[in-house]
Amino acid sequence: MTSCFPPAKRGCGPASFEACVSLAEMVDLYLLLWGDRPARELAWWGDRSLTFDQACRRAMFMLEGEGKRDRHQRRHSAEVLASLGQRLVAHEPSLRLDRGFEGLRLAVEAAFGLLPGRSPLLVYDVTHRLSYYLGRPAEHVYLHAGPRVGAERLRPGLGRLRRLDPRDPGQLPTSLRTRLAPDQIENFLCVARRALHAGLWD
C-alpha cells in the first residue's frame, strides 16, 4: 500500500490522487476504487437477457439505477432521456451494423438527431453503455469535458485532440497505456484530472 491510498471508505476525490507521488501509484489507487466498474457495467448494460428495446432504454440511465439519471445527464429530464431511448429503438438496424465503437457512436448521434459534435458527453456515455450489449468496446480514448481537462494537464496540447490512441506512446503515458482499457483511461483522466500534471508522464 502506498501513501496515497485512502482509509477504508471509498474516496475518489482529487485529494487522494494528489497524495500519490507517481502516475503508477495513481493508477493503483484508481484500480482500488474503480477496478470493479467494468464488470459491473458489463453485467448491467451488457445483460443478454434484455431485448434490444430494453437495452436501449437502460442505456439512457445510470449504472444499476433503472430509470434514474446519471449525474452526467442531469441537464436532461428523465422524460427527454426516455424519449431519446425510443429513438435508439427506432434506429435498430443502423445501430446493429458492426462498424466498431466509432461507427456506433456516429449511429447514436444520428439516432438522436444531433449535429456532429453536439452533446458529445451524452452521445459518448450512451454509446459506451450500448457497446456492452452489442460487443463493440472502445479502441480509443475519447476526450470531452473532464477527460479533456485531464489530458491537457498531463501534456499541454493533448486536450485539443478529439480522441487518443492508447497504442501511441506519444499520446498516452506507459502507466495508462499498459494497465487500463480505453474506457478506463477516459474515466481516470476525468476523476483524477485535478491532480494530473506534466511531471507525472512516464
DSSP line for the chain: --TT---SS---SHHHHHT-SSHHHHHHHHHHHHTTHHHHHHHHHT-TTS-HHHHHHHTTS-TT-TTPPPGGGTTS-HHHHHHHHHHHHHTHHHHHS--HHHHHHHHHHHHTTPPTTSSHHHHHHHHHHHHHHHT---SSEE--HHHHHHHHHHSTTGGGSSEE-TT-TTTS-HHHHTTS-HHHHHHHHHHTGGG--GGG--
Residue 133 in this model has a pLDDT that exceeds 50 = yes
For the chain, what is the domain count? Answer: 2
For residue 94, is it within any domain? yes
Could you tell me if 144 and 130 lie in one domain? no
Kindly report the average pLDDT of the chain as a whole number.
Answer: 90
Mean per-residue pLDDT for 3-23? 64
For residue 7, is it within any domain? no
Q: What pTM did the predictor assign? A: 0.87
pLDDT at 118: 77
For residue 95, is it within any domain? yes
For residue 2, is it within any domain? no
Could you tell me if 177 and 147 lie in one domain? yes
Single residue among 134, 164, 181 that ends a domain in this structure: 134
Give me the domain span that covers residue 196.
14-38+140-200
Could you tell me if 121 and 148 lie in one domain? no
Single residue among 106, 134, 162 that ends a domain in this structure: 134
For residue 5, is it within any domain? no
Q: pLDDT tens digits, residue range 25-78?
A: 999 999 999 999 999 999 999 999 999 999 999 999 999 888 899 888 888 899
Could you tell me if 124 and 146 lie in one domain? no
Mean per-residue pLDDT for 126-131? 97
pLDDT at 55: 97
Confidence class for position 114, pLDDT limits 50, 70, 90: confident
Single residue among 113, 134, 155 that ends a domain in this structure: 134
pLDDT at 179: 97
